[in-house]
Structure 1
Amino acid sequence: MQLADQLQEILRSLSRFGPELFLVFGIAGLVITDLLLLRQSPARHRAVMLGLSLLLVVVAGTLVIGQFGQDSGFLFGSLLFRDEQAIFFKLVVTVAAGVAVLHASLTRPRLPLDWLPILLALLLGLYLMTMSVNLLMIYLSIEIVSISSYLLTALSGTRRASEGGIKYLLFGAVSSAIMLYGISLLYGLTGTLDLTSSLVEVELAKNSPYVVYLASLLLLVGLFFKLSLVPFHVWTPDVYEATPTPVVSFFSVAPKAAALLILMRVLTSLPANFQTPLAVIALASITLGNLSALWQTDARRLLAYSTIAHAGFLLVGISAFSEAGFDAATFYVATYLFINMAAFLLIDLLADAQGGQLTLRSLEGLGFRHPQLALALTVVMVALTGLPPTVGFTAKLLAFSALWETAQQSGNPWQVALFAIGLLNAILSLFYYLKFPYLLYFRTATGPETEAAAQPRGAGWLALALTFPILLFFFRPDWLMTWIAGF
């Protein structure tokens, strides 16, 4: 391609790169605003930074919504591909970022205000992840997300945060190195980094299946790390316990959504059949996550193991390796956003009423002192369990239905085992999710009686806004599934 053609391609791509360019300039503006407000009072400084960050996220989301209905196509050669599916996932991570900023505005996380530009940089990395179809671009976008995540984990400066950040960094560096090695092997086998190229399937078919499996699994390691799947989950409980809750709630959803889309694209591009290894990893993640959560007394560690289990449930639809399975996984991650971020927010708000403690015992007896938040948390826990009338039931039903349909056709014993044991694990999760309503309504506080703290302004409305879709999409799942199926 001639230089003039390359410049023309860059200009054409930039014209369709609106949300990402806006975030780049928005991050720079946010940093400058932070510097200009250093002499202002801390309260005013915090309010302006949170308000401006939320405005930037809202505008970015508006630009993303404006991309629906536009023509799909490649950007910057074949590095990125923007289609309806990528735009949908960008919208999901944007909503997650907005909820995280609102969460921080209702609480006071022990974080310097520097975390807000880093959060937007992480959001930019997630935008790139959702559109990446080039192996090198996938790696670079994951690194943007990972480096931002390491910084956010350790930014509070406490000893626990530093330890969590180091563990996160070490496990992330190892998984990135393994992933990069897999990319180099695939490039050597195919001669291209473009997943959409016909050379990928043609050239890989000429090699031994064992070589293809090895290179592909090394590539998938980085995605399994982002999804917190076994055996790449070890960092999750320590990071979730050490990081302020608004950041943790964002970690629990947004990177997983973007990694899930990349996983679907990688699996559909490779000729190898990964149904069995995916079923094994999903089964291990669901079982280990649920068994580990049973013994937790810290609310955030319990939810950390819960996210490991739910990452396995996300993989149930993927392991079916069918259009229905992929649609079910997309539905699962879109609705899981509301469920999990509501769980972190509500626990944080209820714990603040008891001096900021996040142990399960700190929730004892709060059901009648904070009825609105306690009722919302009960709905969320029922949704995490996967019981009606919540969308958690619908999401699991769609995922396991797609798996069962595939298992009947293929006769794969691991898929049958995943179906049976996965459903048993859903029952097992009852024993720790229902601890929350039990403690809220059927136990009295064992410590000295304290006066109920006033709820932050807007806490009840945000709780209602997050729990409403959890109930709505149970009764009208077709509103979301029709959208997803149209990609």
Structure 2
Amino acid sequence: MSLTDQLNDIINSLGGFGPEVWLSVAFCGLLVAELVLGRVTPLSKVRRWLVGLSVGIVLVAGVWAVLLPTRGYLFMHLLFVDNQAIFIQLVVALSAVAVLLYEAFTTSERVDGQSKLPLEWYALLIAMTLGLFLMAMSVNLLSIYLSIELVSICSYLLTALTRERKASEGGVKYLLFGAVSSAIMLYGMSLLYGMTGTLDLTADVFGAELARQDGAIATVALLLTGAGLFFKLAGVPFHVWTPDAYEAAPVPVAAFFSVGPKAAAVLVLMRIVTALPAESVFGETPANSLQTPLAVLALAGILIGNLSALRQTDAKRLLAYSTIAHAGFLLVGVVAMSQAGFEAVFFYVGTYLFISLAAFFLVDLLARSAGSDLTISNFAGLGPKQPLLSVALTVVMLALTGLPPTVGFTAKLLSFSALYDAYQQSGNSWLLALFGLGLLNALISLVYYLKIPFLLFFRPTLSAENSQQVTQIPKVAVWLSVGLVIPIVGLFLKPEVLLHWLVNW
């Protein structure tokens, strides 16, 4: 391609790159606004200004992405805009808006008007949103790596942003595991480049050259490349950082970690899978296909997440292990490697947005109402004192388990139905093992998911002195958190609303 053609391609690509340019400029603008307003305005007013600006920035980016008329490749096949990318960008934008509003509402009614999070967190969240937007569009190994690193750097900083020692420890552990996963991912990418001669996943030569390689070697290279994706997905074996980072991070940050990076990472993983030649994916020998190792990793994530959560005493660590298990459930649809499986993944992502955010917000509000930390035993006896929050959290826990009448049941039903269809076609025994043990783990998860509701309604308050004491909590934050529960039940009753949009959009 001549230089003139390259310049024309870059200029034409700018039409589909508007939301990302907007987020980049807004990130710089927020940094300047923080410095300027901090000198002339009281801190509480500065925070209100930055909240309003941040929410507006993310909303504009989300709406712009949805209304974007441009579809196709950008910047010489570095990025690709399609409905799947826009859907993930919408999920990221909604989760960012939700955590920004929750942090603002829980801060506004504090006596001192202060937040645990410093002012820099708004700009960092915008930068992380930008990275996730880029991840959703990346179809080139170079753009995948750069966008993942942007998300990772912002994640490290957000985890260690507060002045607590636990935050520093969690941030360092996050950073160390992130560095290892990035190095492994780069090594895998170098192997793929050496095998195919291209970094473009969508190039015909990528699949053709990969099909000529030994199946086992190609599978190893692909798994090494997936290290960075599994790290952002909190998938086994790159999951060890999750409980410490979630426990160290403030609740809004941990809630965003549980949704945004997972949504973008699973889309990139699906793009890699769909770029593979059919004979490499559905080979006659299951050991030489990518389907079997992915099934093993999905099953390991479900088992490790659920079994580790059984003995947790801190609510945030419990939810962290829950996200590890749900990363395994997200992979179930990918393992199916079919259109139905991929649609189930998108449905799972769209519903997990409400379930995960509601879980973190409601747990935090109940702990605030008791004037205690997030130790699970402190939730005892809060049910009669906070009936609305307690009932809402019970519904959310049922959704995390995958029981009706919640959309968590529908999401798991679609994923495992696609998996069983894939097993009938391929006869791969690992798919059957994932199907059976994955469903069995729904029963195991009942033990720890219903632990908090059981304490809320069937156990007295631990301290007699605090039995009648209930701390006031922000009403707007309560309604925001309870409002997230409405789609959890509504989409169970009318799942076709989201399914029809995903299939026909």
When normalised by structure 2's length, the TM-score is 0.94
Moved more, 200-209 or 318-327: 200-209
State the Cα RMSD in Å.
1.2
Aligned position for 1:460: 478
Segment of structure 1 superposing worse, 106-115 or 256-265: 106-115
Q: Distance in 2 between matches of 1:451 and 1:319?
A: 50
Corresponding residue number in structure 2 for 1:98: 97
2:93 and 2:194 map into 1 onto residues whose CA distance is: 36
Asked whether 1:392 is paired with 2:392, we answer no
With 394-403 and 9-18 compared, the bigger mean Cα shift is at: 9-18
Matched, 1:364 2:364: no
Alignment pair present for 1:80 and 2:86: no
Alignment match, 2:317: 301
Name the aligned partner's letter for residue 399 of structure 1. S
What code does the residue aligned with 1:64 have? A
Instruction: Give the alignment partner of residue 278 of structure 1, picking from 294, 307, 314.
Output: 294
Q: Deviations over 1:8-31 (max 9, x none)?
A: 221211122111111111111211
Instruction: Note the 1:189-208 alignment, pairs <5 A.
Output: 189-208=195-214
Tell me which amino acid in the other structure corresponds to 1:38.
G
Distance 1:71 1:121, change over 3 A: closer
Amino acid at match of 2:235: L
The structural deviation recorded for 1:457 is 3.3
CA contact (8 A) 1:348 1:356 kept: no
CA offsets, 1:318-377, max 9 Å, x none? 111111111111111110010001100111111111224111122111112122211111
CA-CA distance at 1:37 after TM superposition = 1.8
Task: Spell out, residue by residue over 1:371-390, the C-alpha distance to the aligned partner (whole angstroms, 9 max, x if none).
Answer: 22111111111100111010
2-side partners of 1:29 and 1:472: how far apart?
A: 39
Q: Name the counterpart of 2:16.
A: 16
Structure 1 CA distance, aligned partners of 2:406 and 2:493? 8
Q: How big is each residue's C-alpha offset from its partner over 1:162-205, in whole Å with a ceiling of 9 and x where there is no partner?
A: 11111111111111011011111111111110000000111112
Q: Check conservation: 1:135, 1:193, Cα contact below 8 A.
A: yes
Whether 2:150 is the aligned partner of 1:144: answer yes
Q: 1:325 maps to which residue?
A: 341
| 1:105 CA displacement | 1.1
Give structure 2 stretches of 5+ with no counterpart. 108-114, 282-289
Report whether the alignment pairs 1:423 with 2:431. no
Residues 80 and 134, structure 1, Cα contact 8 Å, conserved in 2: yes
The residue aligned with 1:410 is: 426
Contact kept, 8 Å, 1:125 with 1:145, in 2: the verdict is yes
Task: Please tell me whether the aligned partners of residues 104 and 246 of structure 1 are also in contact (alpha carbons under 8 angstroms).
Answer: yes
Choose from 435, 440, 444 the match for 2:451.
435
Q: Which residue of 1 aligns with 2:186?
A: 180
1: CA distance, partners of 2:480 / 2:59: 16
Q: For residues 230 and 246 of structure 2, what CA distance do their matches in structure 1 show?
A: 17
- 1:395-450 CA distance string (max 9 Å, x none): 00000111111112211111111111111100111111111211111112111225
| AA aligned opposite 1:107 | T
367-376 vs 236-245, which deviates more? 367-376
- 2:132 match: 126
Structure 2 contact 382–456 (Cα < 8 Å) conserved: yes
SS at match of 2:76: coil
Report the Cα distance in structure 2 between the residues aligned to 1:362 and 1:55, rounded to whole angstroms. Answer: 37
Deviations along 1:112-171, whole A, 9 cap, x unmatched? 110110010000000000000001100000000001101111111321111111111111
Moved more, 40-49 or 448-457: 448-457
Residues in 1 aligned to 2:211 and 2:177: alpha-carbon distance in whole angstroms: 32
CA distance in 2, matches of 1:20, 1:101: 19
Alignment check: 8 A CA contact 2:380 2:456 kept = yes
Question: Amino acid of the residue matched to residue 155 of structure 1?
Answer: L
Q: CA deviation at 1:452?
A: 1.6
Q: CA deviation at 1:455?
A: 2.3
CA distance in 2, matches of 1:292, 1:257: 23
**Deviation per residue, 1:203-258 (Å, 9 max, x gap):** 11222222211211111111111111111111001001111010000001100000
Name which of structure 1's ranges 201-210 and 305-314 shifts more when overlaid on structure 2.
Answer: 201-210
2:186 and 2:420 mapped to 1: Cα distance?
34
Count the aligned residue pairs. 485
How far off is 1:71 after superposition? 4.5
Which residue number in structure 2 is paired with residue 157 of structure 1?
A: 163
SS at match of 1:95: helix
Give the letter aligned to residue 51 of structure 1: G
The residue number in structure 2 matching 1:451 is: 469
1:60 aligns with 2:56: no
SS of the residue 2:80 aligns to:
strand
Partner-residue secondary structure (3-state), 1:133: coil
Q: Distance in 1 between matches of 2:184 and 2:479?
A: 45
* d(CA) in 1 for partners of 2:59, 2:351: 20
Detail structure 1 runs of 4+ shifted over 3 Å in the superposition: none
> Aligned partners of 1:409 and 1:4: how far apart in 2?
49
SS in 1 for 2:38: coil
Secondary structure of 1:445's counterpart equals coil
Q: Structure 2 CA distance, aligned partners of 1:436 and 1:243?
A: 21
1:218 counterpart = 2:224: yes
Distance 1:237 1:342 in 2: 18
Aligned-pair CA distance for 1:7: 2.0
1:482 deviates by: 1.5
Who is 1:45 aligned against?
46
Q: Is the 8 A contact 2:371 2:471 kept in 1?
A: no
CA distance in 2, matches of 1:77, 1:356: 54
Deviation at 1:464, TM superposition (A): 2.9
Identity, % of aligned positions:
58
What is the distance in 1 between the residues matched to 2:135 and 2:372? Answer: 35
